[in-house]
Amino acid sequence: MKIRTYSEMIQRPSFEERYEYLKIGGTVGAATFGHSRYINQWFYASNLWRSIRHEVILRDNGCDLAYYDRQIYDRIYIHHMNPINEEDIETESDFLIDPEFLVCVSRSTHNAIHFGDASLLLQMPVERFRNDTSPWLL
């Protein structure tokens, strides 16, 4: 498995390229922590996670995939670029807490990354200009 990093992702110039770099393509309903789910829930409620979360939000300016034109106006998710497991939480591995392996995402982007479905991504509004629906008036 290739290790994904923030430094590498940020070099991709478009939002779509960043999404392609991060997408995992999992399946809906696949167990991630199984019966040990309480472990990751404990971690996400910790002061350590809250501190790292704030740091990542500030670094990314609250933008989806740290893409300046994609401000997140709803809840901001912090995505682990490399899947984590129970051992990562128990040992506080770099994948878990190093901002180099974390990025801000919206809920729809998070779902698209995990399920490999670009249709889940929020689409930017089409830029309009005067008489663009009536070309004969130009």
Q: What is the pLDDT of residues 27-46, one digit of tens each?
A: 554 555 556 777 888 888 99
| Band of pLDDT at residue 26, cut at 50, 70 and 90 | low
User: What digits encode the pLDDT tens for the residues 119-137?
Assistant: 778 766 667 777 777 767 6
- In 8-135, at which residue ranges do the beta strands (DSSP E only) sit? 77-80, 102-105
Exposed, middle or buried, 11 (CB in 10 Å: 0-12/13-18/19+)? exposed
Integer Cα distance of 47 and 67 in angstroms? 27
Residue type, 13: P
Chain centre distance of CA 82: 11
Q: What is the pLDDT of residue 31?
A: 53
Question: Is the distance from CB of 95 to CB of 88 less than 8 angstroms?
Answer: yes
pLDDT at 79 over 90: yes
Question: Is the distance from CB of 64 to CB of 121 less than 8 angstroms?
Answer: no
Instruction: Enumerate the domain spans of the chain.
Output: 6-137
pLDDT at 23 over 70: yes
